[in-house]
Amino acid sequence: MLDRLAPQAPDALLALIKMHRDDPRTDKIDLGVGVYRTGQGDTPVFAAIKAAERRLVDEQDSKSYLGPEGDMGFVEALMPYVFGEANPTMGGRIEGMQTPGGTGAVRLATALAKAAGVTRVHMGTPSWPNHAQILADLDLEVAGFSHACPDGTADLDAVLSAIRGAGEGEAVLLHGCCHNPTGIDYTPEQWDAIAAALAESRALPIVDVAYQGLGHGMEEDAYGLRAVLAAVPEALVAYSCDKNFGLYRDRVGAFYVMAAEGGQLPAILSNAAALARANWSMPPDHGAAAVRLILRDPDLTAQWLDELDTMRTRMRQVRDRLAGAGTAGSVDLTPLGIQNGLFSVLPLSKDQIAALREDHAIYMAGSGRINVAGLTEANIDKFIRALAEVTA
């Protein structure tokens, strides 16, 4: 039977990683892989994580299963940062569970939405490629709307039109901050308009928060999510700690549900637990336990937030440097200065992207998405010059 399986196209990002690795040129630049890098090109382990891991080695007394809900101490410790200190549980209407990374949280949120009767999901395009793959695997219809305007700002009219056109049995999937792949976020005023539209709609909001703290700060980056939750009766939230704690390979995420009434939560979470049990049974413990220790220790929390500030400042400096260059050939770099997070999309043809790779050893996704953290003081001038050359 296995001989019936047709070959699948290789993952484009994995192919890009291999091409970069095999390139012998010493001045090669990797703008494809979506991880943070320091000015020296490293992806470090947070010192706060190292300290928490040392404590785990000394204090953890069991590796027994935690159950499909995972480390609830981690889930609860994270809630004030996601939902706000003043009212982290929205009057007892929010509960959650641990997931394997933000991907697991997106999978669980969309699977639960389907179990609740959602058949169609409105999603801004472009989006993180795995969003569409997960929705397709769940046999959910995707209705795309434009996320980005040509000037590098968000297409508010498109998202409002999608929300107003969505009805019963439909969901709207939104990026909470630091949009992947465009870096184009909604302003607070635009989020207020989105929240008001969702309040009038019968659509279910699903908010994917994968990069909190990498845009303007932990509080600032939570504005959109909190505005939506304050306006609607129910919503699903997918959260990732892989980026803002640097725990990529440990797969640390959380899924939260806000119910119309607190009394509905036991039934909702029982369905989520059953879906989790069928998908991954139990989430991995180590990374979530380290985050829990950090968030329960004021000194470690302060250390983590300082490290996160350093990451955000470096990416903002790279964006300011690119924006300050103005145009490079036919590419206007100024919008990158108002965009957020790791990613932006450059308007490049496939031939231009190939020329950057073949002639200049600059590697980026075929969509034109770049990871700005791949640029450093040592290579950013080369990148700008090469971009000008291939687009002249």
Alpha-carbon distance 125 to 155, whole Å?
10
Record the tokens describing residue 388, joined without a space.
């000008």
Residue-range domain boundaries for the chain: 2-45+300-391, 65-296
Which CATH number does the domain 65-296 belong to among 3.40.50.261, 3.40.640.10, 3.50.30.60, 1.10.40.30? Answer: 3.40.640.10
Spatial separation of the C-alpha atoms in residues 64 and 24, rounded to whole Å: 46
DSSP string, 246-298: --GGG-EEEEEEE-SSGGGHHHHHHHHHHHHHHHTSS---HHHHHHHHHHH-H
* Spatial distance between the Cα atoms of 190 and 177, rounded to a whole number of angstroms: 13
State the residue for tokens 């369905």.
Answer: 271
pLDDT of residue 88: 59
Residue type, 198: L
With 0-12 CB in 10 A as exposed, 13-18 as middle and 19+ as buried, what is 7? Answer: exposed
Confidence of residue 33 (pLDDT cuts 50, 70, 90): confident
Q: What is the DSSP letter of 150?
A: T
Q: Which pLDDT belongs to residue 191?
A: 98
Instruction: Give yes or no: 208 in active site.
Output: yes
Q: Based on the residue annotation, tell me whether 154 is a catalytic residue of this protein.
A: no
Dihedral sign, Cα of residue 314, residue 315, residue 318, residue 323: negative
Q: pLDDT band at 205, cuts 50/70/90?
A: very high
Mean pLDDT for 143-164 is 96
Is the pLDDT at 15 greater than 90? The verdict is no
Report helix, strand or coil for 238: strand
Architecture of the structural domain at 2-45+300-391: Alpha-Beta Complex (3.90)
pLDDT of residue 87: 60
Catalytic residue among 105, 185, 243, 304: 243
pTM of the predicted structure, to 2 decimals:
0.94
Percentage of the chain surpassing pLDDT 90? Answer: 91
The catalytic residue among 52, 105, 109, 210 is 210
Residue 297 annotated in active site: no
- Tell me which of 109, 128, 361, 365 is the catalytic residue: 128
280 is catalytic: no
SS3 of the chain: helix, strand, coil, percent, to 5: 50, 15, 35
Kindly report the number of other CB atoms within 10 A of residue 350's CB atom.
Answer: 10
Whose structure tokens read 């005023």?
Answer: 189
Confidence check: pLDDT of 16 > 90: no
pLDDT of residue 27: 93
Give the model's pLDDT for residue 313.
Answer: 96
126 upstream amide cis, omega within 30 of 0: yes
69-116 per-position pLDDT tens digit: 999 999 999 999 999 976 656 778 999 999 999 999 999 999 999 999
pLDDT band at 13 (very low <50, low <70, confident <90, very high): confident
Q: Give 81's contacts (C-beta < 8 A, 6+ positions apart).
A: 212, 218, 222, 295
Among 208, 221, 242, 285, the one annotated catalytic: 208
The pLDDT tens digits of the residues spanning 274-333 come to: 999 999 999 999 999 999 999 999 999 999 999 999 999 999 999 999 999 999 999 999
